[in-house]
Amino acid sequence: MDAVPIKMLGMPLVVRISERFTLLRNASLTLLFFAFSLGALAQGTDAAQYAAGEKLFKGNCASCHKPDKDLTGPAMAGARARWEGKGDIYAWVKNSSAYLKTGNPYANELFAKWNKSVMTAQALNNEEIDAVLYYADNYVPPAGPKPPIDPNPKPEASSNWPWLVVIGLLLAVVAVSLSGVKSSLTNAVREAEGQEPLPDMTTGQKLRQWAWNNKGFATIIALFVVVFITLKLWDAAWVIGVYGGDEVEHYKPEQPINFPHSLHAGKVEAGNLAIDCQYCHSSAAKSKHAGIPTTNVCMNCHTAVSEGRSPEGTAEIQKIYAAAGWDPAALKYTGKIEPVKWVKVHNLPDHAYFNHSQHVNVGQLECQECHGPIDEKMDVAEQWAPLTMGWCIDCHNTKDVKMAGNGYYDEIMARLEETDMGHSELKKYLEDDKISVRELGGWECAKCHY
């Protein structure tokens, strides 16, 4: 299974994450408990009603209301107070349309104020309504934003560096002074022996002379240097390549919106949202392009979700609003749109035809098989696979065709079984007990190049 190495890579991380997460959860629970106790002290009511209200609120009201903020409908906190003496809030909640007909002035005023959007009739009894309102009035926002989960913490920069430099410098100074000492000593000896003192040579000259005297050694060093430089250049050449190869660092350009794939598509257990890839990249099953989600897709959720898990996240969400022309204060579209100019990450080589729907829909591949652990590990999208032809045909060589239950392949199999030539071909195909993509022509030029 291809996913094995990924899992193995992830193992220590999961451990690390869960450790951090437990800590966090404990902290927030403590905070929450603290808040409850405070609330309980002040109001003299119990956490049970709060919890019941919360459950009802999330089930029935949250799509249009927030406890503390206006959404499609008004903020629910203080609703009971606002209604006080102006009408029957219970009747209003149970069936607002019917209540409007009674001619209650406050109800009609509300209706007009909120763009005449009809509130859905709620099948709640008075106690339940009480609980919801209680929850709203005593709403305590979740304790502080969670620190963004960094599944891939960078190892802290090694602090040995400056020391090494200092030691290196010291050694160099020592070496220079020693060589000075050595030459003065030599000269002194020569003087004592009545010889001419050595000519005063520059460092370069000395070096050359040393090399001349130690040819073998110098050659080996020179060889090493040349090989080292060549290798470095070779590496560098890979990086400057247009599309790169296996050795390239994964291409990860800066994006106009710092979209965290891990937060949106990551696992729930890791505190993420686990949204299906194809919810946003919906054309992957239909078209050659997986498609960058259009801004209106973001707004499906982000009309309601206006706050991120960190101030930075909230700022990023504001960028979506700017693009979609959404005024979060007035909860209205202004009509001033500005398309998001994403930077393309996956650039297929020219003249190659690739179709997502063939692979996602027919081949039943998981997105991660080519795009890597984008849901778990990548905050901003990066290129995982090299996207070279060798990489493509490697997969075509090993992957088997998902034939079961597909009428198209039934017909192909029937034809293979019908004729002599088909029979012999089929036998060849089935030598390894499966029919690979390559055997059905997946290595042919015109499958991808036309």
Nearer to another protein (CB atom), residue 103 or residue 335: 335
Nearer to another protein (CB atom), residue 272 or residue 295: 295
Residues 387-446 that bind another protein (CB under 8 A): 405-412, 415-416, 418-422, 424-425, 440-441, 444-446
C-alpha to C-alpha distance for 49 and 129, rounded to whole angstroms = 11
Instruction: Tell me the three state secondary structure of residue 115.
Output: coil
Q: Which stretch binds another protein (CB under 8 A): 110-118, 132-140, 210-218, 235-243?
A: 235-243
Question: Which one of 355, 368, 388, 436 is in contact with another protein (CB under 8 A)?
Answer: 355
Choose among 322, 369, 312: nearest CA to 148. Answer: 312
Nearer to another protein (CB atom), residue 212 or residue 408: 408
Backbone φ and ψ for 42, nearest 5 degrees, come out as -70, -45
Instruction: Tell me the three state secondary structure of residue 75.
Output: coil
Closest CB 234 distance from another protein, rounded Å: 14
Strand-pairing partners, residue 326, are: 333
Nearer to another protein (CB atom), residue 21 or residue 251: 251
Instruction: Tell me the three state secondary structure of residue 320.
Output: helix
Q: Within 13 Å of residue 19, how many CA atoms lie on the same side as its CB?
A: 8
Q: Which stretch binds another protein (CB under 8 A): 129-137, 267-275, 283-291, 304-312?
A: 283-291
Residues 294-313 that bind another protein (CB under 8 A): 294-297
Nearer to another protein (CB atom), residue 93 or residue 370: 370
C-alpha to C-alpha distance for 39 and 47, rounded to whole angstroms = 8
* Cα 383 off chain centre by: 12
Question: Which one of 157, 242, 329, 330 is in contact with another protein (CB under 8 A)?
Answer: 242
CB atoms within 10 A of CB 376: 22
244 belongs to the binding site for another protein (CB under 8 A): yes
Closest CB 412 distance from another protein, rounded Å: 6
Instruction: Tell me the three state secondary structure of residue 184.
Output: helix
- 321-350 mask for another protein (x: CB under 8 A)? --xxx-----------xxxxxxxx--x---
Read off the tokens for 194. 């009545």
Read off the tokens for 286. 């239909």
- 37-76 mask for another protein (x: CB under 8 A)? ----------------------------------------
C-alpha to C-alpha distance for 199 and 303, rounded to whole angstroms = 84
Q: Residues near 65 by Cβ (< 8 Å), separated by ≥ 6?
A: 57, 71, 72, 73, 74, 75, 76, 136
| Contacts with another protein, residue ranges (CB under 8 A) | 240-244, 251, 253, 283, 286-289, 291-297, 323-325, 337-344, 347, 351, 353, 355, 357-358, 361-362, 405-412, 415-416, 418-422, 424-425, 440-441, 444-447, 449-450
